[in-house]
Structure 1
Amino acid sequence: TSEDLNKMFKNYGELNNAKKITREIIKNRGKNEIKTTTQLNEIIYPLIPNRISNKILSRVYQAIRIEVNNELEAIRLLLKQTVELLKVGGRISLISYHSLEDRIVKRFFKTGKFQGEIEKDIYGNYSLPYKIIEKLIVPNQTEINKNIRARSAKLRIAERV
């Protein structure tokens, strides 16, 4: 539906013009079935400035990929399972490639939850499943020059407590 498309582009692509893109896709989908990325690109190009067209298109396809593959839920499921699978003292290292993934990992490592407040007992004490043992690691310029895809990678390391 139109609402589903808009929500997908807004939440997973972090697009400010999600409504406009959704409207145009719905309009064109009514005329002809959209079967190729070229067709989708032709619908979206007129809506975005040339200087940032690659950035916007990347976000559109990111949103579609995340929705189709259910990627964020897979990350949440993995993180929940690590609490049971890792022994105390075991370490987990996760590489995220965009802000949506990183936000989930960072929040879980810090609070043991995906959203909301840390749960405390009646005395105000709380226990966390992980202790962050390394600060955020990002690639330096040399690494990025060797491997351009590394530019958005963020490595987070935590230890089971």
Structure 2
Amino acid sequence: MTVDAARRARGHVLDEHAALLTRLGDCADRVAAAWETPPTDRAAVVEPLRAVLTESGALDALPGLLGGAVEAAGYELQASPVAAPPYVAVTSIGPVCRATVADGRLVVTFELFELDRSGVEPTYHRRDCPPEESVEVELRD
């Protein structure tokens, strides 16, 4: 049940929120374009990403995406999500949406950035992938 639920939720996100996925990618591109060198500090990703997501309206659209994903997975929300923790968080990888459901927590992660640990100092980089490849959906205990 849980793998199917996550698959249905991910399908909903890809099918019903393609424009938002593109907007999230555009926001990440804007953040990365402003870097003179890849940052080593998570705040250099999180703070500008939150600002750009807010400015573009993408942050305010994420609770609706989460609600639809929960419904597509076959669950009901216990409360109306808002664009703030615990429902929506902006992390150094990208936005994360979470909802408590009957079988645990449905978590939708948008992996827009990655931490490269191959150098002397770990650095953040914009992931080079199509928007749909940035979407990870899990049902966690």
TM value normalised by structure 1: 0.27
More contact order relative to length (CA 8 Å, sep ≥ 6): 2
TM value normalised by structure 2: 0.30
Q: Which has more strand, going by share of residues? A: 2
Q: Which has more helix, going by share of residues? A: 1
Question: Which is higher, the Rg of structure 1 or of structure 2?
Answer: 1
